Chain A
Amino acid sequence: MPVVDNDKAAAPATETTNAAPASNGEFRPKILAFCCNWCTYAGADLAGLNRMNYPADVRLLRVPCSGRINPQFVIEALNKGCDGVLVCGCHPGDCHYVTGNYYTRRRMLVFKRLLEYAGLEPERFQVRWISGAEAGKFRDTVTQVCEEIRALGPIDVCEEVAK
């Protein structure tokens, strides 16, 4: 079991192993998307079935409900050098578990304020509601978020950690 190596994590994306885009030197962010299994994750699958295209910079992490997402996960990701984090859940009111995403909405709203207060660019942490049917919305959201974060450039982890 490898111990997490902060320096390595803090290193810019272009240095990473077998990250193909490195060749053209253009910055490719790494974006982690926490997705509710019942809506956004399904939406992503649907985007696949429809052979839609979106940037490959985003990685989905499946959770049973957006209410499961603990802010610590997000902090961890940003600290360890993720350039952006996306939290996706069902539309408020449509939660598969009745009320989960209401808590997410409240929790993440406060948390986002905190991060921005700590100096994080708003684009780096976003919360979106995407249903299992909204493949198009998923593609558009991901594309947009990726572009925003590419524009921002790599996250300065040390600064983050310092804060």
Chain B
Amino acid sequence: MRDGDVAPRMRIRSSRDLTGSVEKIVEKGVIVQADDLSKIKDSDREAIAELAQRAGVNLKDCYQCGKCSAGCPMGEFMDLLPRQVIRDLQLGFLEDVLNAKTPWICAGCNVCSCRCPQEIDVATLMQEVRRTSKATGHQPYPEADKFDDIFIGNVRKFGTSHEVGLAMKFNMSSGHLFQDVGNSTKMLKHGMLKKGRNIEHIDEVQKLMDRALKESEEK
């Protein structure tokens, strides 16, 4: 996402989202009709149950006080507030959640989890949603996705992450060619751009990563 623009709201958050021109509504992708709860698939409900179980969260615990969202530093950039993600999961709107940018915008600062009155680990839930969303081929937020992939590729290649290579590669692929270039001269001067170290037994790391992937598949 470029500077300045903010993730558009996906679904109606409040009647306020409906005010304004029809175009605005359309452009916001808001469908002005009631969600038919009777049409929610059991398969979705089960998927949500498993998701919550993987995250070690009991969705029923949440009474929607919104303390998580109130303190969320990234809240204003999200299409759904964390509380709304949980609400959608409670109601069974799986697709909306997997398509939400929120879990991909979450900075993982854990403020929500440590303040939740019901001890719900919101941050972990967000991560789980993100993983599930990736695993099920959703890609609501390509930038974040790219960054992760490049990073992991990096680790697989060298056993460590080469921050510089990482940044440059990300800029290439994401098209933000000159992001942070301003700093790179100083970086160079400060010997921050030294080529990172490669580890000796890279094969160990690679095998380990493969085994991890297998482990997850078996689950």
A and B touch in the complex (CB under 8 A): no
